[in-house]
Copies of this chain bind each other. A is one copy, B any other.
Amino acid sequence: MGALDYALLGLLARRPLSGWEILKRFNRSIVFFWNAKRTQIYAELRRLERLGLVSSRLVVQGPRPNKRHYAITAAGRTALRAWLDRPTPAQPIKDEMLLRTFFADLLPSPRVASYLRRHGEEHRRVLGEFETIRAALEARHGPLEATGDRALAFGYLVLEQGIRFERMYAEWCRWAAEAAERRPARTGRAAADVDTPDFIMTT
């Protein structure tokens, strides 16, 4: 059972939904912190039904395409609670930007600085979007720190993490680009003479 399964159970714990509705809701919040594609979501729903964690019934609706209505079962609720109550295992990081930067000595410094800046702009753009969303939520529901809606309150915590993450990343990009610019374009040393930096201190 991957995390996506619990995301789907979580949505269905709030109310029964069709696959299509799940997809829509997923893409309006969860996808920002847990990415998944349509085909996988449909496949997982069927798997969850095989496992008895959700039930479904087919809704025939005349001319429009049939849809499948899903609801969480008692077993599904139990599984979801158990997952929520388990400690989250530390997640290994995969960040392609950092990988590139790590090997950036193979590229001239101005190039590195420029892609760091471009990447930083992208993070600032997303940051702006998140801040717009927060403002819109506050306009609609009042101060988020004091909302009585528990689901919204936790949604706000998650949104705030996104904001902090994007801000941190954008600031790092700017700082790193400046550092790359201050550096001579290329030393005389060949790349082959340079050793891979070692982050583990054996002493």
Chain A residues at the B interface, C-beta cutoff of 8 Å: 3, 6-7, 10-11, 13-15, 25, 27-35, 80-81, 83-85, 87-107, 111-112, 115, 118-119, 122, 132-133, 136-137, 145, 148-162, 164-165, 168-169, 171-172, 175-176, 179-180, 183, 186-187, 189, 191-192, 194-201, 203
Contact = CB atoms under 8 A, between A and B. Distances in A.
Given A32-B93, A159-B199, A85 B111 contact: yes
10 contacts: A3-B94, A10-B103, A11-B196, A14-B196, A25-B198, A28-B200, A30-B99, A145-B179, A151-B194, A153-B183
Contact of A103 (B102, B154, B189, B197): B154
Query: Do most interface residues of chain A lie in helix, strand or loop, or is the interface mixed?
Result: helix
B94 A197 contact: no
Contact of A115 (B87, B111, B155): B87
Stoichiometry, as copies per complex, reads 2
B105 A151 contact: yes
Given A14-B194, A155-B197, A158-B102, A93 B28 contact: no
Contacts of A172: 160-161, 164
B197 A151 contact: yes
B13 A103 contact: yes
A99 B158 CA distance: 8
Contacts of A191: 13-14
A112 B94 CA distance: 27
Contacts of A118: 87
